[in-house]
Amino acid sequence: MGYLGDMPTPITDPAIIDSYLTDASNVHGHAEALVRPRTADEVAEAVAHCQARGIPLTVTAARTSTTAAAVPEGGWLLSTERLVGIGELGPDRVTVGAGVLLGDLQDAVAARGRCFPPDPTSRRECTLGGAIACNASGARSFRYGPIRAWVEAVQVVLPTGEIREVSAGDPVPADIPTPRWVQPAVKTAAGFVPPRSFLDLFVGQEGTLGVVTRATVRLVDPPQQVVAMLAFFGGRPAALELVAEARDRARQDPGGPVAPLSLEYLDRNCLDLVRGRLDAVPSGARAAVLFEQERGEDHLGAWTEALARADALVDDTLVAAEPVTRRRLEELRHAVPVGLNELIVRNGMPKVATDLAVPQAALDRMMDAYEATSMPHALFGHIGDAHLHFNQLPRTPDELARARARALELTRLAISAGGTVSAEHGIGKLKRELLALMVGPETLRSFRRLKRHLDPAWVLGRGNVLEPDAAGVVRPG
């Protein structure tokens, strides 16, 4: 590969570029060139080159985004895949290249007896930099929260090409117009966070305010002797009763016998999808909760009592105390999206999915609304955070249109309840209108002021989070 100054010579071969033009959203984009830098200096040169010429520059990592955030709408692509390397591993932190796969980082850390807790479902496919850009979370976010809480510092290339080292606690520079708004009091990954420090601006910004080239992340002791349980219920009310007790007891005593690492919900339709893969699903089950708990002297007895109080099908509860059996239950959870994908292929229509979270007090009402949908559907996800994934499965173009209209109705309901339009997947290019509904015009204007200040030509991640600002865009030429 050749170089232009400190920048790798852009690749223009369509056969190479084509494999970078889509992500998990299945939206297909287009780009004129691709750069794959190996260092922050090379990233900076490419960014500065594009800023000076008004060339849109889309950052792409492992392309696991479901919101088309990594899909270019023209211009150049910058892949972080070669920004790799895991530094010396200390007891409490490690510095890692943005292109390192999250699962590889976790394996390296685990081999030294430490733990990096964030656990998005795509951790074996997504990069650390991509996870930071989306403020990724996962099932264990019930215990550990999203990735924001675990990032101590980043090296970031600003949209002008300047390289900055930013650490937790660094004040936001006085000249930067930061957004000031009240985020929903729920798990959320929607919009630019009101920053408490400069670092906050670069976590969850979806490749619009900077290119993270490496990060220092915090490590903890791994959870000990984890046991997974899959509890079945005759209906949703019983499942929610267990969830409410588990959530309350975990908040009161995080080290207690009922203090789960995760709380995951599967509705009746999900159970129907996996019955063929797991014979142990009882015929009377209409809902299930999958959870993990660190083993203690009285954990099993405490959970058995809680399950009985919630009128669970106690005798049918599956308990997995060993890694092999735990993986079986994890595979069951992952069999739900696999089964959905099979239906999608069979139907010949895309699914229509939401990523909403609401305050706990609104969860029951929100689930009523989900279940009142006449379209074939499945409901599952992170019920401990009142964050569920609702998937409609249309079979015809008419049903597809109705599913999209229904998704908008549900989104408006979540907003009115004090919820978020995206709890973990972000906004990307597909949810900009929903973000506008949630935050309102004044907050949206504050997002634009921040973007324009850091990125005068509106080059980086153009189209992500915000509609491109025509007044601020410099055209090449």
**CATH number, domain at 423?**
3.30.70.2740
**One domain, residues 227 and 318:** yes
Please give the order of strands across the beta sheet that includes 163-167.
93-97, 211-218, 151-157, 163-167
Q: Is 227 found in the same domain as 214?
A: no
Q: Which of 280, 305, 339 marks a domain boundary?
A: 339
Residue 379 within a domain: yes
Cα angle, residue 110 at apex, residues 329 and 210 outer, rounded to 5°: 95
Pair (195, 261) in one structural domain: no
pLDDT, residue 473, reads: 56
Q: What is the pLDDT of residue 275?
A: 82
Please name which of 59, 74, 3, 44 lies closest in space to residue 160, comparing C-alpha atoms.
44
- Name the 3-class secondary structure at 421: coil
Say if residue 57 is in the same domain as residue 111.
no
What is the Cα 298 distance to its own chain's centre?
34
Q: Alpha carbon of 310 to those of 208, 235, 236: distances in Å? A: 46, 11, 11
Whether 473 is covered by a domain: the verdict is no
Answer yes or no: do 375 and 309 share one domain.
Answer: no
CA 477/CA 256 separation, integer angstroms: 64
Per-residue confidence (pLDDT) for residue 328, from 0 to 100: 79
* 366 and 296, same domain (yes or no): no
* CA–CA separation, 70 and 90 (whole Å): 32
- Angular region, 225: left φ>0, alpha ψ -120 to 50, beta rest: left
Residue 121 has a pLDDT of 84
In a domain, 463, yes or no: no
- Average pLDDT across each block of 10 residues of the chain; the chain has 477 residues. List them in order: 67 96 93 97 97 96 93 97 94 96 95 93 90 93 94 98 96 95 96 96 97 98 92 96 96 93 95 81 94 88 95 93 82 81 89 96 97 95 96 96 97 98 96 97 97 96 88 47
Give the residue ranges of DSSP H helices in 23-153.
Answer: 40-53, 102-110, 128-134, 141-144
Interatomic CA distance for residues 145 and 88, integer angstroms: 25
Query: Which CATH number belongs to the domain containing residue 211 in this structure?
Result: 3.30.465.10
Same domain, 261 and 182: no
Q: Contact 326/228 with Cβ under 8 angstroms?
A: yes
Q: What local confidence, expressed as pLDDT, does residue 1 receive?
A: 44
Whether 234 maps to a domain, the answer reads: yes
14 and 70 housed in the same domain = yes
Q: Please report whether residue 123 resides in a domain.
A: yes
Counted domains in the chain: 4
CATH of the domain at 325: 3.30.70.2190
In a domain, 477, yes or no: no
Which has the closest alpha carbon to 264: 377, 114, 139, 395? 139
- Do 236 and 284 belong together in one domain? yes
- Residue 77: give its domain's CATH number: 3.30.43.10
User: Within this chain, do residues 118 and 156 fall inside the same structural domain, yes or no?
Assistant: yes
Within 8 A by CB and 6+ apart from 327, the residues are none
Sequence-distant (≥ 6) Cβ neighbours of residue 126 within 8 angstroms: 61, 62, 64, 101, 102, 120, 136
Task: From 94, 90, 70, 68, select the one nearest 80 (Cα to Cα).
Answer: 70
Has residue 281 been placed in a domain? yes
Which tokens is 81 given? 């895949």
- 162 and 246 part of one domain: no
Same domain flag for 405 and 330: no
Domain extent at residue 9: 3-81
Is 472 part of any domain? no
In contact, 233 and 315? CB cutoff 8 Å: no
User: Which tokens is 109 given?
Assistant: 């850390």
